[in-house]
Amino acid sequence: MQVQLPFSLLCLQVIKCKAAVLWEANKPFSIEEVEVAPPKANEVRIKVVATGICRSDDHVITGGLVMPFPIILGHEAAGIVESVGQGVTSVKPGDKVIPLFVPQCGECNSCLSSKGNLCSKNDIGSAAGLMPDGTTRFTCKGKAIHHFIGTSTFTEYTVVHESAVAKIDSAAPLEKVCLIGCGFSTGYGAAVQTAKVEPGSTCAVFGLGGVGLSVVMGCKAAGASRIIAVDINKDKFAKAKELGATDCVNPKDFKKPIHEVLIEMTGQGVDYSFEVIGRTDTMAAALACCQYNYGVSVIVGVPPAAQKITFDPMLLFTGRTWKGSVFGGWKSKDSVPKLVADYMKKKFVLDPLITHTLPFTKINEGFDLLRTGQ
């Protein structure tokens, strides 16, 4: 005789699956069997289908971004809802979704303001590594494993708060739109949302990884007439030009500081500059290369922990604007479905940002490719 369990009871089971656990800093990921607890009230359990590798994950490994260990990293992904906790209304099992490392609670000052997008429920600043209720949903070998900025996507299943997940088009290819979970949105939005690049303007982009290339795409979409791509790896120049860069500059080719080179190239500096590396020296150079009175410089790369920046205050006194951009300034839950819809309408491309597709078990090789600029 078969007994049919109601759906709510089926969802309460712990799932055992593979995850890439980082037990301590500066060590490789260890593929482990983990236990993923069922979602509590207002939580969503997701089967992760595809996840991208981002420099921010690597910053945790090297200690540049301080997080508690052991931890499951990953924050740029797409998947399918497996189950939901009580009170969840925005998604249901079977929905295609993108987890959001910047949540959107809809109630805090940033969510209610038209000027901001960094929801107070984010775990970027506090780095608690826990769900909003102060507990974790991951266990491995009897030990509690920390979450990473509310997403933790280097696992076959993860649990996120309902405010940190967006339902997307059911026809979207998850192995491509996962990039909208961080890299593409962060770079593209820094240009079109945060800086609000204007038609005919000149831009400089420092760093040509996936996020930097997305900034180039954003500057082009906004109508910039000149986009100067800056990187010490000349192998990245061809793709930058393919995506809209008009000039490519390698700081190693010059004896003088790069900001002086850019000022000479443009006459009086660029209208907009973007630092997409996460180094204090390039942040200062990006500020210095923009027009002295009305230039705007945007910090997009994650700043290294415990480092301070020193600069001449005259750079700001003359009128320059220096600002930061998290997740491209997008209000995540509202904007991610629209960005996916724009991708489906071919308003932008994602394929050039995907260099390699690897099985999950080769995650350490993926990070080697990231670190060697490939």
- What angle do helix axes 280-288 and 258-266 make, rounded to 10 degrees? 20
> What are residue 90's phi and psi, to 5 degrees?
-85, -20
Examine the residue annotation and report whether 75 is marked as an active-site residue of this protein. yes
The one-character DSSP state at 86 is T
Q: Indicate which residue of 178, 182, 289, 290 is catalytic.
A: 182
In the residue annotation, 356 being an active-site residue is answered as no
Q: Which of 54, 111, 119, 203 is catalytic?
A: 54
Q: Which residue is catalytic, options 56, 185, 297, 325?
A: 56
Q: What are phi and psi of 224, to 5 degrees?
A: -60, 140
Catalytic residue status for 59: yes
| Element at 34 (helix H, strand E) | strand 30-36
Q: Are 86 and 33 in contact (CB under 8 A)?
A: no
Strand partners, 71: 22, 146
Catalytic hit among 8, 11, 75, 335: 75
Enumerate the β-bridge partners of residue 272.
203, 296
Q: Judge whether 146 counts as a catalytic residue.
A: no
Could you tell me the CA-to-CA distances from 55 to 24, 49, 180, 205 in Å, in that order? 17, 20, 15, 17
Answer whether 188's CB lies under 8 Å from 215's CB.
yes
* Residues with catalytic roles: 54, 56, 59, 75, 182
